[in-house]
Amino acid sequence: MSGFDLHIASSLGLLLGVCLAAGVFADLLHLPKVTAYLLVGLLVGPSALDLIPEGHVELFEPVLKMAMAVVLFNLGCEFTFSKVRRVAAHCLALSVGEITVTCGLVTTGLWLFGCSGSMALLLGCLAVATAPATTILVLKEFRSEGPVTESTGFLVAMNNFACIVLFELAFLAVHLVQGKLHVSVGHQLGILLQNIAGSIAFGVAGGLIVSYGCGLLNMKRWLVLLVATTTFLLGVCETFHTPYMLTFLVMGVTVANTSDMKSKIVDELDHLSGLLAVLFFAAHGTELDVNAFIEVGKIGVIYIVFRIAGKWLGVYGAARATRQPVEVRHWLGSCLFAQAGAAIALANIAVTRDPVLGKPIQSIILGSVVVFEIIGPLFIRQSLLRTGEVPLAQAIRHTSSTPLDQVRSVTDRFRTAIRRSTPAASTTSKVKVSDLLRKSKGLNQSANFEAIIAYIEHSHDNTYPVIDDRRQVVGVIRYPLLSNVMFDNSVTQLVCAEDLATETDAFLYPDEPATHAFELFQAETDDCIPVVTRAEPHELLGVVRRSDVMHALITQHRKSK
């Protein structure tokens, strides 16, 4: 930055602050938050505004690796042996098909368009990798459940393991053909197997420590144990040059199969993983280089196109051959487009081993990552919505208050805190329900699901009156109950407002005092109550909010002093 350099603490605060703002805009634009974090990282990074001083992101590297480790640990915790057997029964064929087609298609395509056979082969192997952090955190963000979600987790784990093995074997074959292999093939294979075995051993050891420790220690100390084990294992993997991603995946699998408190362990780690994930993607976004994408030119575009085609066609072909459900055939492949960590790390290794061959490979990977990391989460979100595996609360944007409402709420709480008590409802209140009325048309009982969603998205309430053709209230839809319903387009076409409404006995008349509304809210959990006319047929006039009633009482109490 011109004039002065930010302190590293300020860089950290800036990254987290812009991510907070990005999360709000992501909700407005219906974007996955991961994409928003990457984009704001790109914005404040060297490719755009250059607000983060050079070298600061490198200092975050241990924390970023820990974020990846935590994500992989969480992924591994999903795989009990019984689940692995069940999922593997239908996913192994998908994994083999997707890996084979992706590697083969990218290798062939690049070779046909002018790449050397060695470069094409290595890039074909790297194309197999799927970004675990990006993919898994998008699944967690949308709280998705179903066959596509379950299969995605399995394929991500298989892809990254296969990518490491295929890349090492491909590099071994390239050096053997070029006469650059200075040790025997057996020795190189031995080193590869040793690294894999070491990663698995470290992961099992770490998982046993966590399972034993969490069973022995008070829950308040679990987070310290988890962080201590994770950071120590990261250092061990760096020291012995073993692939840490496999270590933490195995660590999660070990905990899943040796502890009956797996869910509580994951929940405890979630307190940390959310913050780490935000920093991971923001920092990762600053490293995305738009110029690198431009420089790779035609070869980069070919790599992107053939990798996307390979992922989708590989899954589609294998799913069709094994008679998998339609949603798996059409949408699972597009959940695997994201690419970053493993491919970048292996591309760096390629540069170290063979600079002449490795540098072009690194340029293509770094350039294409800009595209894959941005479009990957978008495709995952679309796939999950299409398959109906996302709860309604994650599929739409809904907030319970406006910025102005929140200002008033903070002010009211401050006034209450000064008085050290919450004002009781005064029987002499002159405020009427009509003074607090918020006009609302309500939802007609025949309104389709699309109309219901539009109503919810434009409302800041959590309770919605449902009316008949005479405008009489026939019930209310409660968002907290509805929010966990899966957003399945194939089913929602058959649903109308009447199907989702529940009866309510809580009504208000416009000439009633606000104290009566206060009394009703004391007995109700709803955030608003319908207001209807006294005369038959009791037509809906609008609603009264709990927050409005409390504000009126607090204001009246202050004026009476």
Cβ atoms of residues 455 and 397 within 8 Å: no
Residue 50 lies in a domain: no
- What is the model's pLDDT at position 105? 96
* 299 lies in the same domain as 207: yes
- What is the model's pLDDT at position 96? 95
Structural domain count, the chain: 2
- What is the model's pLDDT at position 425? 54
pLDDT band at 561 (very low <50, low <70, confident <90, very high): low
Rounded-to-integer distance, Cα 343 and Cα 160, Å: 9
Residue 336 lies in a domain: yes
3-state secondary structure of 486: strand
Task: Report DSSP state, residue 55.
Answer: T
* 108 lies in the same domain as 247: yes
* 357 lies in the same domain as 470: no
Kindly state the average pLDDT of the residues 485-499: 75
- What is the model's pLDDT at position 3? 42
Task: Give the chain's mean pLDDT.
Answer: 86
The residue with tokens 């008679």 is 323
Q: What kind and span of H or E run contains 439?
A: strand 438-439
* 383 lies in the same domain as 503: no
pLDDT band at 522 (very low <50, low <70, confident <90, very high): confident
- What is the model's pLDDT at position 492? 66
Rounded-to-integer distance, Cα 106 and Cα 112, Å: 10
CA distances from 201 to 232, 236, 561 (A): 14, 12, 71
- What is the CATH number for 356? 1.20.1530.20
Cβ atoms of residues 292 and 79 within 8 Å: no
Rounded-to-integer distance, Cα 487 and Cα 389, Å: 7
Residue 408 lies in a domain: no
DSSP string, 336-352: G----HHHHHHHHHHHH
What string of H, E and C letters represents the secondary structure of 205-267? HHHHHHHHHHHHCCHHHHHHHHHHHHHHHHHHHHHHCCCHHHHHHHHHHHHHHHCCCHHHHHH
- What is the model's pLDDT at position 210? 95
- If one counts every other C-beta atom within 10 angstroms of the C-beta of residue 375, the result is 16
- What is the CATH number for 432? 3.10.580.10
The pLDDT of residue 92 is above 90: yes
pLDDT band at 357 (very low <50, low <70, confident <90, very high): confident
* 259 lies in the same domain as 121: yes
pLDDT band at 428 (very low <50, low <70, confident <90, very high): very low
Q: Each residue of 213-255: pLDDT tens digit?
A: 999 999 989 999 999 999 999 999 989 888 888 899 999 999 9
Report which listed range, 8-17, 96-105, 460-469, is most confident.
96-105
The pLDDT of residue 430 is above 80: no
* 336 lies in the same domain as 435: no
* 222 lies in the same domain as 329: yes
Residue 31 lies in a domain: no
Q: How many residues does the structure list for the chain?
A: 561
Kindly state the average pLDDT of the residues 507-514: 90
Phi, psi of 477 (to 5 degrees): -100, 125
Q: Each residue of 175-210: pLDDT tens digit?
A: 888 877 677 777 778 888 898 899 999 999 999 999
pLDDT band at 305 (very low <50, low <70, confident <90, very high): very high
Of 342, 363, 390, the residue that ends a domain is: 390
Q: Each residue of 129-179: pLDDT tens digit?
A: 998 888 988 898 888 888 999 999 999 999 989 998 899 899 888 888 887
Q: Each residue of 108-117: pLDDT tens digit?
A: 999 999 889 9
Residue 25 lies in a domain: no
3-state secondary structure of 441: coil
- What is the model's pLDDT at position 179? 77
* 225 lies in the same domain as 298: yes
Residue 75 lies in a domain: yes
The residue with tokens 């197997």 is 193
Kindly state the average pLDDT of the residues 280-288: 83
Residue 328 lies in a domain: yes
Rounded-to-integer distance, Cα 262 and Cα 217, Å: 14
Q: Each residue of 477-490: pLDDT tens digit?
A: 988 888 777 777 66
Rounded-to-integer distance, Cα 80 and Cα 365, Å: 34
The pLDDT of residue 456 is above 60: yes
Q: Which residues contact 525 (CB under 8 A, 6 or more apart)?
A: none
Residue 463 bridge partners (DSSP): 478
Domain that includes residue 461, residue range: 426-560
- The residue among 458 and 402 whose pLDDT is bigger is 458
* 373 lies in the same domain as 447: no
* 108 lies in the same domain as 198: yes
The pLDDT of residue 465 is above 90: yes
Phi, psi of 487 (to 5 degrees): -85, 85
Let me know how many helices (H) and strands (E) the chain has, helices first.
25, 6
Q: Which residues contact 407 (CB under 8 A, 6 or more apart)?
A: none
* 260 lies in the same domain as 353: yes
Q: Each residue of 314-353: pLDDT tens digit?
A: 999 999 999 999 999 999 999 999 988 788 888 888 888 8
Q: Each residue of 30-86: pLDDT tens digit?
A: 778 888 888 888 888 887 788 887 778 788 888 888 988 998 899 899 889 998 899
DSSP string, 64-84: HHHHHHHHHHHHHTT--HHHH
Q: Does the pTM exceed 0.85?
A: no
Q: Which residues contact 220 (CB under 8 A, 6 or more apart)?
A: none
Residue 29 lies in a domain: no
Cβ atoms of residues 390 and 487 within 8 Å: yes
Q: What kind and span of H or E run contains 176?
A: helix 147-178
* 135 lies in the same domain as 242: yes
